[in-house]
Amino acid sequence: MREWVFKMRGGLWTLLFVIILFMAQESSLEKIFVSLIIILIGQLWRCWSAGFIGLYRGENVKALKLATTGPYALMRNPLYFGNFLIGLGWSIIAGLNAVIIFIVSFYVLYVLVIIPHEENFLRSKFGHEYEKYCERVKRFYPLSLKFEDLRGNFDGKILMRSEIHTIISTVIGTIIIIEVCYS
């Protein structure tokens, strides 16, 4: 099941967006402004993260090397943390019920299904190196902040090759949510 959910994660993300959209209620300009900041931080966090990972698009889990620098020195799942912020921003615009549905859905899909699937792959491919990484870096929050760990080999070409899809989806989704909630 985890493999199937991983393959379908893009479609499931779209379904979650549609559910949030259908739950949308009228929103204030102030709430939209705060949400836009959260969404922007989420997308910028994803862009920063994408530049350090190399391969991440596709239906199967893959990795040429274990990413441990940049945002991966702070948390093991920075791309998904960026997704969380984007989805949280959308759901805040849509209303409290959407926030609750989003947080529960994100937890089930990502924390209970997708991330463990990826972790099993990384554990089998990188073994002891991955175990040591897990000891010093948590899934979603930093244990410590060492600025030297933030440096690494950022590759901006990855943004245009892989992350542009997410950027476009985030912009379009945000415009749709605002259009529905602020009339």
67 contacts 54 by C-beta, under 8 angstroms: yes
Amino acid 144: pLDDT: 67
93 pLDDT band, cuts 50/70/90, is: very high
Amino acid 157: pLDDT: 80
Greater model confidence, 66 or 39: 39
pTM check: above 0.85: yes
162 pLDDT band, cuts 50/70/90, is: confident
- Mean of per-residue pLDDT scores for the chain: 88
pLDDT above 70 for 62: no
Please write down the long-range contacts of 162-165, taking CB distance under 8 Å and 24 or more positions apart: 162/50, 162/56, 162/57, 163/46, 163/47, 163/50, 165/57
Q: CA 95 to CA 182: how far, in whole Å?
A: 12
Q: CA 73 to CA 137: how far, in whole Å?
A: 7
125-145: pLDDT as tens digits = 999 999 999 998 998 877 666
pLDDT above 60 for 154: yes
Q: What are phi and psi of 114, to 5 degrees?
A: -70, -50
17-60: pLDDT as tens digits = 999 999 999 999 999 999 999 999 999 999 999 888 866 655 55
Amino acid 44: pLDDT: 95
